[in-house]
Amino acid sequence: MHFFPLPAVFVGGEIVDMLSSTGAVAKLVLLVLLAFSLISWAIILTKWSLLRRAKAQSGRFVRAFRKAQRLQDIVAVADQFKPSPLVGVFEGGYEEYRRQVASSGGLRSMVPIQRGMQIGSSEEISRLERNVPWLAITAAATPFIGLFGTVWGIIDAFHGLGTAGAATLRAVAPGISEALITTAAGLAAAIPAVIAYNLIGASIREFAARCDDFSLEFMNAVEHNQPQSAAAVAADVRR
């Protein structure tokens, strides 16, 4: 019953031995790949948590917006839904609407309001996309960094083989296996990054579409409740 754990320990020990016996260039390559991997995983976990909270708060914010009788009711509670990008869209549109009412006592044009919401949407999507390009850089660069370490290791192995003069598979295999570790490390860093980049990008595109839909819903609400909303905003400005 003690035979099964031994191969795993043996293989793990072999890998540790190979890592410790690699050359300076291979060690440097592995350190660079480790740094890429750690940064990528930090971004993945941070973005995953942010997008999960933004999705939950967006649903709550939309429900609160549809239940509200006045736009001022949403302004009072908007901070509660702050992780949602829809809050930034709402604030961009409402701020322009408030300016128009404060200057002329009523709504002059929907175009500036639409522009305000577009600016708010762009800022929120840019916030969600921050640091995400690093995942694309990791996915594109780390396989080649690992390949560089492999090529360098193979060159070193064949150079040692030529110096020793023993042209056998037993003589060259350890050096090649050590060199291939960098390729495996590069793929280990690249695969999670490319998967996460595509999944996070799809979620951000979904948020961009939701921001566009909410902009239309906001303009409909302004047009339908224009007299009441304008009076309430004017009273709020006077206070």
35-52 residue pLDDT tens: 999 999 999 999 999 999
Question: Do the domain assignments include residue 11?
Answer: no
Query: What is the predicted pLDDT for the residue at 4?
Result: 42
Write down the pLDDT at residue 197.
Answer: 96
Tell me, yes or no, whether 10 lies in a domain. no
Residue 3 within any structural domain of the chain: no
pLDDT tens for each residue of 185-232: 999 999 999 999 999 999 999 999 999 999 999 988 888 766 555 555
Q: pTM for the whole thing?
A: 0.78
Q: pLDDT tens digits for 159-183?
A: 766 665 555 656 566 667 777 888 9
Average pLDDT over residues 144-153: 88
Residue 229 within any structural domain of the chain: yes
What is the pLDDT, as a whole number, of residue 107?
76
Instruction: Judge whether 151 lies within some domain.
Output: yes
> What pLDDT digit, counting tens, does each position of 74-84 carry?
888 888 898 89
As a whole number of angstroms, the distance between CA 117 and CA 108 comes to: 16
Q: Hey, what amino acid is at 21? A: S
Q: Which residue has the higher pLDDT, 7 or 126?
A: 126
In a domain, 200, yes or no: yes
pLDDT of residue 207: 94
- Sequential DSSP letters for 94-159: HHHHHHHHHHHSS---SHHHHHHHHHHHHHHHHHHHTTTHHHHHHHHHHHHHHHHHHHHHHHHHHH
Q: Which domain holds residue 40?
A: 24-238
Domain count, the chain: 1
CB–CB of 212/118 below 8 Å? no
In a domain, 5, yes or no: no
Burial zone of 113 (CB within 10 Å; 0-12 exposed, 13-18 middle, 19+ buried) = buried
Pick from 24-28, 48-52, 111-115, 125-129: least confident: 24-28
Do the domain assignments include residue 54?
Answer: yes
pLDDT higher at 13 or 184: 184
Angstrom distance (rounded) from CA 157 to CA 174: 8
